[in-house]
Amino acid sequence: MRSWIEDFLIYLSSERGLARATIESYESDLTDFSKKVALETVSFQCIVKYFQALKQEGLKESSINRKIVAIKVFYKFLKREGYIQANPTYGLELKKIYIKPPRTVSTKDLDQFFQVILREGPKGLRDYALFLTIYASGLRVSEACDLEIHHLKEGALLVKGKGSKERVVPIADMAIKAIDDYLLTRDDEEKYIFLNDQGKKITRFFIYNKIKEYLKKAKLSEEISPHTLRHAFATHLLDGRADLRLIQELLGHSSIKTTDRYTHVAKEKLIQAFDQFHPKP
């Protein structure tokens, strides 16, 4: 029933505060599901057959898992709200998939990358500060784009991550200095830290194009990406024997299996671990 899906989407937005893109993903998965089954009378066996058909069609198991999560959360909501008496997804499990280890970058290549960024003029100072901040604080591309000047306070960044969740991330002194040097070249009133050549908020495409430009200058592999810098942040912290839970907190990582066990670490402990273990490029 379409009204059930609409009520569920309202719940995701108003009560759980999920990002629009996440809600749209739920809507797409549930709409596709509702076209193949009757939502109010579907059985566990019917749901299993639905996913077997998707697998036979060649859908990736990671995509199947996403749909399983959407349907399980949907029916859990329906049962809690009294729309249904029994949850037909009870016992439905996620598919086991092989997760390829993330690519990272060596400290040698990292040094080579930063060396080709000329630290002079508004553009050079901006680019150096941008990529140093992504690496030094383990930011996602979208998080770097959304950074506002007032988010930088007392040696830390207030980062808005996936699902509009906020976290405090320490930032290295050299990254703070790089940002300050860049901001001194500006005389605008824009609230965002990083602006493009037209004085507007940077985009994902801007960052990807810039990193390609510097990789070419540094004669490094094009497999290195902004996300690789984020993984390098975590890998280099692990190499320095930082606690895995601290790194998880710094990255803003959470998953279905670990959400309930997620360990919150005090800001002071995060900063202490960051200062102790983070390598300086």
- In 3D space, the residue among 146, 159, 118, 167 whose CA is nearest the CA of residue 267 turns out to be 167
- The one catalytic residue in 80, 90, 216, 262 is 262
Which positions ≥6 away from 136 have C-beta within 8 Å? 171, 172, 174, 175, 233, 278, 281
Residue 230 appears among annotated catalytic residues? yes
Residue 11 appears among annotated catalytic residues? no
- The one catalytic residue in 119, 162, 201, 217 is 162
Whether 33 and 67 have beta carbons less than 8 Å apart is answered as yes
Residue 210 appears among annotated catalytic residues? no
- The one catalytic residue in 201, 227, 245, 267 is 227
Helix (H) or strand (E) holding 239: helix 226-239
Residue 231 appears among annotated catalytic residues? no
Whether 141 and 160 have beta carbons less than 8 Å apart is answered as no
- The one catalytic residue in 66, 123, 245, 253 is 253
- The one catalytic residue in 72, 140, 210, 231 is 140
- In 3D space, the residue among 113, 192, 186 whose CA is nearest the CA of residue 151 turns out to be 192
- The one catalytic residue in 67, 72, 167, 230 is 230
Distance CA 60, CA 57 (A): 9
Residue 253 appears among annotated catalytic residues? yes
Residue 262 appears among annotated catalytic residues? yes
Three-state secondary structure call for residue 155: coil
- In 3D space, the residue among 42, 90, 50, 85 whose CA is nearest the CA of residue 67 turns out to be 50
Count CB neighbours of 156 within 10 A: 19
The residues annotated with a catalytic role in the active site are 140, 162, 227, 230, 253, 262
